[in-house]
C-alpha cells in the first residue's frame, strides 16, 4: 500500500575545488577560462540528498517503517516536496532549472564580491509542455515587455503576469537571437484550486559574464549548492588558497546580491559532510532550527547569512585563525 511520504537520505558529496566524472572522463567541477586563475588547496564540499519516492511513484509503508529506525534518514510528507498537481516530469524540470540558476547566481555573487562587472536580463528558462506559452515562447527568449510594462527583473515579470487576466491575450515583447518580436500568450489558471494566471514558463536571470565559468556536474539538481559554487569560484579567482588545506563543507542557496538562503535536507547533508571527512560546515542561518541538537560529532557548524559572511569565515579557517567571533546555530 502506498504511503503519503518520501524519504531523504545522504547523497553524493562533491569537492567544488576538485574533479568529477562526466561521460567517463575526469573533469574539473568548476573550470574558468578567459581570465587569470590561481591554485587552490583543500576542499570545499557541496552536499546532496537522495529522495526516495514521488507523488506518482510513492514508497510503501515498509520503507517508511525502515527509515523510522535509521537516524540517517528523514521521513517527509510528499506535499512538502512535490506540490499538488505537479508531475514528476515537471518536478525534474524545475530541479534542473534550479541547478542551472544556482550556478549562474553563484558566478554573479562571486564576481560581485570581487567588483567584476557583468550584465543581467530576464529570460525564459523553460516552457511547460502544452502550457499557454508552448509554441509561442522559446527557451532563451529575453523578455523585454509584458502587457506594455518594461521587464528588467524576475520580480517585475511575476508582477506583470499576476496583473494579467486568465483567458485574455497578453502582449509580450521578446528578444530572440538579437531580433525583437511582438507575441501574444493567453494566460491560464494555475490549477482547479488556484485561479491565478500563469504563462507556463520558468523565468531565469540570464547573465553575461566577462569570462567563461563551466560547472560540470551530472544528475545533480536543485539550488542548494549555490554558496559552495560561489566560494570555489571566488577561491579560483583570488591569489592564495582560500581554504588553506582545510576540509570545509556547506550548503545554501545564493543570489547575485550575496544573500544565502535556506535549503532542504540539512540534517542529512551534515551527516554526509561528516562521513566525507569534513571538519567545518557552513549552514544557512535560516536552517538553524533544524541544525540545533543534530550536529554530528566531529563537525563544527557555523551560521551564515551572506556570501560576505561565508568568505570571511572560510578565510579565517584557512588562515588558522580564531573562529570564535563567527555566528553558530547554537547562539
Q: Which residues contact 53 (CB under 8 A, 6 or more apart)?
A: 3, 5, 6, 7, 59, 63, 78
Distance, CA of 163 to chain centre: 28
| 172 confidence band (pLDDT: 50, 70, 90) | very high
pLDDT score, position 135 = 94
Lowest mean pLDDT among 193-197, 208-212, 289-293, 298-302: 193-197
242 and 319 Cβ atoms separated by less than 8 Å: no
SS3 sequence of the chain: CECCEEEEEEEEEEECCCEEEECCEEEECEEEECCCCCCCCCEEEEEEEEEECCCCCCCEHHHHHHHHCCCCCEEEEHHHHCCCCCCHHHHHHHHHHHHHHHHHHHHHHHHHHCCCCCEEEEEEEEECCCCCCCCCCCCCCEEEEECCEECCCHHHHHHHHHCCCCCCCEEEEEEECCEEEEEEECCEECCCCCCCEECCEEEEEEEECCCEEEECCCCCCCCCCHHHHHHHHHHHHCCCCCCCCCEEEECCEECCCCEEECCCCHHHHHHHHHHCCCCEEEEEHHHHHHHCCCCCCCCEEEEECEHHHHHHHHHHHHHCCCCCCCCCCCC
**Check whether domain 6-116+210-319 has CATH 3.40.630.30, yes or no:** no
The domain ranges of the chain are: 6-116+210-319, 119-208
The whole model's pTM is what?
0.87
pLDDT score, position 312 = 96
Smallest CA-to-CA distance from 181 within 190, 172, 189 is with 172
Q: Chain-wide mean pLDDT for the chain?
A: 93
| 331 confidence band (pLDDT: 50, 70, 90) | low
Residue 119 has pLDDT above 80, yes or no: yes
93 and 245 Cβ atoms separated by less than 8 Å: no
In CATH terms, the superfamily for domain 119-208 is: PDZ domain (2.30.42.10)
Please compute the mean of the pLDDT values over residues 138-160 and round it to a whole number: 94
Q: How far apart are CA 118 and CA 112, in angstroms?
A: 9
Residue 310 has pLDDT above 90, yes or no: yes
Give the chain's radius of gyration (CA, Å).
21
Residue 218 has pLDDT above 80, yes or no: no
Q: What is the pLDDT of residues 36-94, one digit of tens each?
A: 999 999 999 999 999 998 888 889 888 999 989 888 888 999 888 888 777 888 888 88
Q: What is the pLDDT of residues 238-289, one digit of tens each?
A: 999 999 999 999 999 999 999 999 999 999 999 999 999 999 999 999 999 9
| 136 confidence band (pLDDT: 50, 70, 90) | very high
| 134 confidence band (pLDDT: 50, 70, 90) | very high
Residue 308 has pLDDT above 80, yes or no: yes
Residue 235 has pLDDT above 70, yes or no: yes
Amino acid at each position: 500500500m502506498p504511503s503519503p511520504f518520501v524519504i531523504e537520505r545522504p547523497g553524493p558529496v562533491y569537492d567544488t575545488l576538485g574533479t568529477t566524472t562526466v561521460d567517463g572522463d575526469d573533469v574539473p567541477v568548476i573550470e574558468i577560462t578567459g581570465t587569470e586563475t590561481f591554485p587552490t588547496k583543500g576542499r570545499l564540499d557541496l552536499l546532496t540528498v537522495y529522495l526516495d519516492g514521488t507523488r506518482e511513484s510513492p514508497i510503501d509503508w515498509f520503507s517508511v517503517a525502515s527509515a523510522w529506525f535509521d537516524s540517517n534518514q528523514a521521513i517527509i510528507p510528499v506535499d512538502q516536496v512535490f506540490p499538488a498537481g505537479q508531475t514528476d516530469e515537471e518536478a525534474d524540470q524545475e530541479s534542473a532549472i534550479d541547478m542551472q540558476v544556482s550556478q549562474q547566481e553563484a558566478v554573479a555573487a562571486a564576481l560581485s564580491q570581487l567588483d567584476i562587472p557583468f550584465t543581467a536580463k530576464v529570460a525564459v528558462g523553460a516552457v511547460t509542455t502544452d502550457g499557454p506559452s508552448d509554441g509561442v515562447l522559446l527557451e532563451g527568449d529575453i523578455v523585454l515587455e509584458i502587457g506594455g510594462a518594461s521587464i528588467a527583473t524576475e520580480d517585475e515579470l511575476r508582477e506583470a503576469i499576476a496583473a494579467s487576466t486568465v483567458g485574455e491575450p497578453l502582449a509580450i515583447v521578446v528578444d530572440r537571437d538579437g531580433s525583437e518580436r511582438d507575441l501574444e500568450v493567453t494566460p491560464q489558471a494555475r490549477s482547479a484550486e488556484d485561479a491565478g494566471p500563469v504563462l507556463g514558463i520558468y523565468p531565469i536571470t540570464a547573465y553575461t559574464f566577462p569570462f567563461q565559468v563551466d560547472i560540470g556536474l551530472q544528475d545533480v539538481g536543485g539550488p542548494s549548492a549555490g554558496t559552495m559554487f560561489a566560494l570555489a569560484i571566488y577561491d579560483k579567482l583570488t591569489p592564495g588558497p582560500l581554504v588553506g588545506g582545510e576540509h570545509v563543507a556547506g550548503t545554501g542557496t545564493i543570489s547575485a546580491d550575496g544573500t544565502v538562503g535556506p535549503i532542504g535536507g540539512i540534517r542529512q547533508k551534515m551527516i554526509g559532510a561528516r562521513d566525507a571527512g569534513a571538519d567545518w560546515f557552513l549552514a544557512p542561518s535560516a536552517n538553524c532550527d533544524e541544525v540545533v541538537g543534530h550536529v554530528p560529532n566531529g563537525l563544527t557548524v557555523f551560521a551564515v547569512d551572506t556570501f560576505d559572511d561565508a568568505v570571511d569565515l572560510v578565510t579565517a579557517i584557512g588562515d588558522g585563525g580564531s573562529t570564535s567571533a563567527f555566528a553558530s546555530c547554537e547562539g
